[in-house]
Amino acid sequence: MGQSQPKPEPPNPIFIKSWREIKWGDNQADLEFVKNYKPEFDDQTLRILLLGPEGAGKSSFINSVQSVLKDRIYSQALADSYSAATSFTREYITYKVHKEGKSFYPFVFCDIMGLSYDEGILEDDVKLALRGHVKEGYKFKPESHLPEGDESYEQVPKPKHKAHVLVYVFSADTVECTREEFLKKTRRIRLDASSQNIAQIAILTKIDNLCPEMKEDIKNVYILRTMKETMEKFSGELGIPMNCIFPVKNYHEEINMNEDINSLILSALKHIIQRGDDYFTFLHSRYEPS
């Protein structure tokens, strides 16, 4: 009798084949792209609106981007180290990104109150912010939306006041337990943004809290089965394509810069800028400039 064939080894429960390319520590190309970025059309600034649950790390992502571009730990957007049940950011705040001298990068980040399934920023206020109706410094109220006629309501928004990219910021370690009511609210906002052709990207933060293998080395991000399954679940829940989802680790406890953390942040930032630039191109190809 012939010898029986050996059984194939079962799939590794933890690791999989690398499925997304990233040049760890070799950040010069992405850094140069960001530093040299200039919108094709003059006098335009890319407006990036961040949206996500309370405590997901929106403000920390803004600080992390600034840290990478300044090559030192930098804190401009106030971030809360306590995972609170209420949003730390309560105002509509636009953050310019300083470049050198008196110049700034041609993109800004807009931070707003966090989303919640029952409290937090109201769905209507997010839609108003997307359309540019919310003035700088407006304090959001969980119990009532910004009324038309209020001094903080921009009656006739200019194109520069409208959001060009909507970035969803979620904690990777909480995707599995996100409530259905919250997902429905987020889906409705996504549909509204899509109706305006606004570019959309998702950032999954706190990846080091997802599993021990990630905490040990974030370079495992694209070979860990858990990470890919988390991204696939998030993609399925909100309808965001996998190539528009980027896992990152924000600077939080570090006091020195880390090239691997930089690699993930720059990868996400580069794609945010590219999607925003595509939006500009779409607008100008659809309408003749006045």
Taking only the tens place, the pLDDT of each residue in 72-89 is 999 876 665 545 444 467
How far apart (Å, rounded) are the C-alpha atoms in residues 257 and 203? 20
Strand partners, 171: 205
User: Residue written as tokens 């930089």?
Assistant: 262
pLDDT at site 86: 47
pLDDT of residue 232: 97
**Sheet containing 165-171: order of strands:** 93-98, 104-111, 46-51, 165-171, 199-205, 245-247
Determine phi and psi for 180, rounding to 5 degrees: -65, -35
Position 249, amino acid? K
pLDDT of residue 82: 45
With contact defined as beta carbons under 8 Å apart, do 170 and 148 qualify?
Answer: no
pLDDT at 10: 64
**pLDDT confidence of residue 176:** 82
pLDDT recorded at residue 99: 93
Assign 3-class secondary structure to the chain.
CCCCCCCCCCCCCCECCCCCCCCCCCCHHHHHHHHHCCCCCCCCCEEEEEECECCCCHHHHHHHHHHHHHCCCCCCCCCCCCCCCCCCCCECEEEEEECCCCCEEEEEEEECCCECCCCECCHHHHHHHHCCCECCCCECECCECCCCCCCCECCCCCHHHCCCEEEEEEEHHHHHHCCHHHHHHHHHHHHHHHHCCCEEEEEEECHHHCCHHHHHCHHHCCCEHHHHHHHHHHHHHHCCCHHHEEECCCCCCCCCCCHHHHHHHHHHHHHHHHHHHHHHHHHHHHCCCC
Query: 94-121 burial, b if ≥16 CB within 10 A, otherwise e?
Result: ebebeeeeeeebbbbbbbbbbbbeeebb
What residue ranges define each of the domains in the chain, with the CATH number in brackets?
A: 45-286 (3.40.50.300)
| Digit-coded pLDDT (tens) for 36-61 | 999 987 778 999 999 999 899 999 99
Q: What is the pLDDT of residue 8?
A: 64
What pLDDT sits at residue 25? Answer: 86
pLDDT value at residue 207: 97
Enumerate residue ranges in the chain where pLDDT < 70. Answer: 1-11, 77-88, 287-290
Report the pLDDT value the prediction gives residue 40, as an integer from 0 to 100.
82
